[in-house]
């Protein structure tokens, strides 16, 4: 039966109120993920997609600076696992995906994060973790809603682990306990 307005099983909504909190969520995800897994990121310019990937990269022990691969479309980092960071923002044609060797990396042997995934969603594997980030109004301008929708068992387990791991303080800030190194 179709239920409108209710969340599907496995979905999660989080709110963050500072970039550091979104980065922390990314780090927890990075710790929880095992390859191969694809994370499809959506959300307007400047909502925090790259901030989240940066957190995941840190958790994987990647020291390099992480920025949107807007012009190169793909950057590869080597951490505990390979991290493939895609950006579909400037991608115009699906043929360019083949040139990038997209099929090799998705799902491939590493963890893939795809910014602006919605532009070519039909080319992504069905089993993946969809994350949409939206702004919500708060006085600081730093409020973000993070909507996680897992497709498949592996992605669902990652979301479950995330929800089990994170805690909030009474003032509503995220309790960013340092994540144990591997
Ligand atoms: N709660 C928050 N979560 C994430 N980023 C935040 C938050 N509050 C403020 N910010 C700021 O928003 C900006 C997010 O930038 P980021 O590059 O991650 O966006 P993006 O979604 O990757 O954009 P683009 O589509 O241009 O690649 C950063 O400047 C960050 O400091
Ligand atoms: Mg970005």
Interval 114-129 mean pLDDT: 95
Calculate how far, in angstroms, residue 170's C-alpha sits from the geometric centre of ligand 2: 31
**Domain span holding position 56:** 12-138+145-165
Q: How many domains are there within the chain?
A: 1
Flag whether pLDDT at 79 surpasses 80.
yes
Per-residue CA distances from 126 to 30, 54, 70 (Å): 20, 24, 24
With cut-offs at 50, 70 and 90, classify the pLDDT of residue 149.
very high
Q: Do the domain assignments include residue 172?
A: no
Flag whether pLDDT at 158 surpasses 80.
yes
Q: Do the domain assignments include residue 86?
A: yes
Calculate how far, in angstroms, residue 150's C-alpha sits from the geometric centre of ligand 1: 22
Provide the CATH number for the domain around residue 40: 3.40.50.300
For the Cβ of 115 lying below 6 angstroms from any atom of ligand 1, the answer is yes
Q: Do the domain assignments include residue 4?
A: no
Q: Which residue has the higher pLDDT, 30 or 103?
A: 30
Interval 6-29 mean pLDDT: 92
Q: Do the domain assignments include residue 175?
A: no
Calculate how far, in angstroms, residue 52's C-alpha sits from the geometric centre of ligand 1: 8
Flag whether pLDDT at 90 surpasses 60.
yes
pLDDT digits (tens, 9 = 90+) for 31-45: 999 999 999 999 999
- The sign of the torsion formed by the CA atoms of 31, 60, 66, 156 equals negative
pTM for the full predicted model: 0.95
Q: Do the domain assignments include residue 62?
A: yes
Q: Do the domain assignments include residue 122?
A: yes
Q: Give me the residues near ligand 2 (ion), CB cutoff below 5 Å.
A: 49-50, 68, 115
For the Cβ of 46 lying below 6 angstroms from any atom of ligand 1, the answer is yes
Q: Do the domain assignments include residue 174?
A: no
């Amino acid at each position: 039966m179709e239920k409108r307005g209710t969340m599907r099983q496995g979905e999660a909504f989080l709110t963050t109120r500072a970039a550091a909190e979104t980065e922390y969520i990314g780090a927890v995800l990075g710790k929880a993920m095992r390859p191969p897994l694809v994370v499809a990121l959506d959300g307007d310019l400047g909502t925090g997609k790259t901030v989240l990937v940066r957190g995941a990269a840190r958790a994987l022990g990647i020291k390099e600076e992480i920025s949107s691969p807007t012009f190169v479309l793909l950057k590869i980092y080597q951490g505990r696992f390979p991290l493939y960071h895609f950006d579909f923002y400037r991608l115009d044609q699906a043929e360019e995906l083949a040139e990038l060797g997209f099929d090799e990396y998705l799902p491939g042997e590493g963890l893939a994060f795809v910014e602006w995934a919605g532009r070519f969603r039909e080319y992504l594997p069905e089993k993946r973790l969809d994350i949409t980030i939206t702004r919500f109004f708060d006085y600081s301008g730093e409020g973000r809603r993070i909507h996680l929708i897992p497709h498949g068992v592996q992605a669902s387990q990652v979301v479950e682990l995330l929800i089990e791991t994170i805690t909030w303080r009474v003032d509503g800030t995220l309790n960013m306990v340092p994540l144990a190194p591997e």
